[in-house]
Amino acid sequence: MNELEKRLLDGFQRGFPLTERPFAEIARQLNAEEDQVIGALEGLSESGIISRVGAAFAPGGIGASTLAALAAPPERLEEIAELVNGFEEVNHNYEREHRLNLWFVITAPDRDGVDRVIAEISRRSGLEVLDLPMLESYRLNLGFDLQWS
């Protein structure tokens, strides 16, 4: 990983510039060019080091969301994960070692949108989707200083 990539990952987990051209502002702060910043982020994404660059909104602040889970038969896990990933409303999904082995977050403009996605995943997979809406919000700072050796 080069120095620009390290500085991007370490320096912009929080405080992402809210400007018309945020990558130009980041480049200015890092003494780089805008196309270098965009290229570095594209490379980090293509290599799987980062999955997305974007805002994280407080749950319930804009739109609606829920945590969902289902029990995918092991032989169908990859097929069902691909199905779930096919919905633009799904932020991410992950496997867990549990009867409920596939977990994912659904976001939509409103609760009806979340319910439609749950129903469609259930219909297309033939599996019951467990809806786990947030009852109480806890604020966690998910940013952390990276240690480079």
Query: What domains does the chain contain, in order, with CATH numbers?
Result: 3-46 (no CATH), 64-132 (3.30.70.3460)
Spell out where the chain has E strands. 64-70, 90-95, 102-108, 130-132
Q: Do the beta carbons of residue 128 and residue 80 sit within 8 Å?
A: no
Kindly report, residue by residue over 62-86, the tens digit of the pLDDT. Answer: 789 999 999 999 999 999 999 999 9
Kindly report, residue by residue over 30-64, the tens digit of the pLDDT. Answer: 999 999 999 999 999 999 888 778 776 666 677 89
Query: Quick count: other Cβ atoms within 10 Å of Cβ 5?
Result: 17
What are the backbone angles phi and psi of residue 111, rounded to the nearest 5°?
A: -65, -35
Residue 132 confidence (pLDDT): 95
Among 17-21, 32-36, 136-140, top mean pLDDT goes to 32-36
Mean per-residue pLDDT over the chain, rounded = 90
